[in-house]
Structure 1
């Protein structure tokens, strides 16, 4: 018999009914044959019997001391009455008839004691065992579903990050391959001689892109940001703000659009940028 067939046979509930004694002779013989031929059935049968025995022991109800004393006292009294019983002396027929009538009048009829059935106890034990097993299975399944959902969310986030990185790299390659862009190297001012940054400017597309990954500028604090300016006819035009390379994972950054410029410069401004550049905070500058 296949493993699937054995599993299906076990799940029919015939083994629990066998342990409870609620099977026909044919079903009993079939269960015993299956248990002798298949170790899996025998193991499941033993486990069910053990579970029911343990449940019966754990849920056994001890009688109270008062009830125990009354029962023992009644038994001792009955035993004493039996031992003190002596044969009655012979009587004549009339006396015997009268005594029989008196005995019949005073006789106490003993009601048959109904034997308590263990069927419902074992049935409840089996149901409780199945309920506990189902609860454990549902709990484990719920944990597995939560783990799967967490893994799926992490995978989606990783996929999105990878897609963003690919798009960024594709944009970077487009800038470097597009001949309409001109690379301009902005060099440090006398106050910041070690600073430098490269930008790509396409007048035809009105685009300005900063090379953030290769920039050499001091890290700005949380209260300040770098601001890019285009000098057009001697007047500064705001092209947006950006942070130092250590504060961003992007390798390039597209700034605000502009069609023409004579030069570009970067100043350090309060976070969010300024309307006009702070000239004494100029970091780099370069002509187009």
Structure 2
């Protein structure tokens, strides 16, 4: 059910309604519609919403465009030569004169009316298309914002669950003499043998692509590697490191990418004892 919800929130259904999808994406959406009623219901609701939005924001053609169309019609009327000019005298003889029938002007008027309607329709469609594009942009932005909000709520919920768990100890690692402003939080559960790093509270310089931070546990006076991690601008989750049941202290060093067998002591960033 979570996968269906994530699929609905991805924004693909809005793009499908607007026709802004590939053939493969279109086939996938139609398969999801036929298989999952919830997806079909969401698609119907999106279509209704977009239709209501278009109707509510419809714009009448400008007076300038209306005037041009009417002037065109009057010009067509003025060019018509069906009006009588001079009455011919009636010849009094036994012959009946048959006058040639003039071309029927009905088609001229019909064509002019159709042309006027076409211009009005094109103007209205262009305006509706622009509004739909703007609405689509807003929907995609809203979907992205909702996804970010959902991820933030999930992270906070996960974080609270760890900090509320009585089996976890929260250890604050303080910066060393060379890095006094550095700090981070480590949650350690000896019972569950779990070690978690609070990436949202990570106060370390961002590492380059050639280096990574490495977490160490001091066990019986010897350092034990618990894995490597990166400090990036979007580090906001709780990162689980390698399992360990006993530790007297934790420390972090900056090592070459992939980590080192032994810690580089002059590159130690933070450390803290388990009380």
Task: Name the TM-score, length of structure 2 as normaliser.
Answer: 0.58
What SS is found at the alignment partner of 1:54?
helix
Q: Which residue of 1 aligns with 2:214?
A: 227
Q: Is the 8 A contact 1:230 1:239 kept in 2?
A: no
Q: Are 1:165 and 2:165 counterparts?
A: no
Shift of the alpha carbon at 1:180?
A: 0.5
1:265 counterpart (237, 247, 251): 251
Matches within 5 A, 1:65-104: none
Report if aligned partners of 2:255, 2:264 keep a CA contact under 8 Å in 1: yes
Partner-residue secondary structure (3-state), 1:57: helix
* Structure showing greater Rg: 1
Match of 2:143 in 1: 156
Equivalent residue for 2:241, pick from 230, 239, 256: 256
* TM-score, normalising length: structure 1: 0.55
Structure 1 residues 185 and 56, CA gap change in structure 2 (3 angstroms): same
Look up the match of 2:269. Answer: 283
Kindly indicate whether residue 114 of structure 2 is the aligned counterpart of residue 127 of structure 1: yes
The runs of 5 or more residues in structure 2 that have no matched partner are: 1-64, 80-96
Give the 3 Å change call, closer, same or farther, for CA 231–129 of structure 1 in structure 2: same
Determine whether 1:237 maps to 2:222.
Answer: no
Q: Match of 1:41?
A: none
Over aligned residue pairs, what C-alpha RMSD do you find? 3.3
Unaligned 5+ runs, structure 1: 1-46, 62-109
What does residue 106 of structure 1 align with? none
Give CA deviations for 1:83-122 in whole Å, capped at 9, x if unaligned.
xxxxxxxxxxxxxxxxxxxxxxxxxxx9945423322111
Structure 1 residues 60 and 256, CA gap change in structure 2 (3 angstroms)? farther
Q: How many Å separate the matches in 2 of 1:279 and 1:56?
A: 92
Deviation at 1:124, TM superposition (A): 0.4
Distance 1:129 1:150 in 2: 32
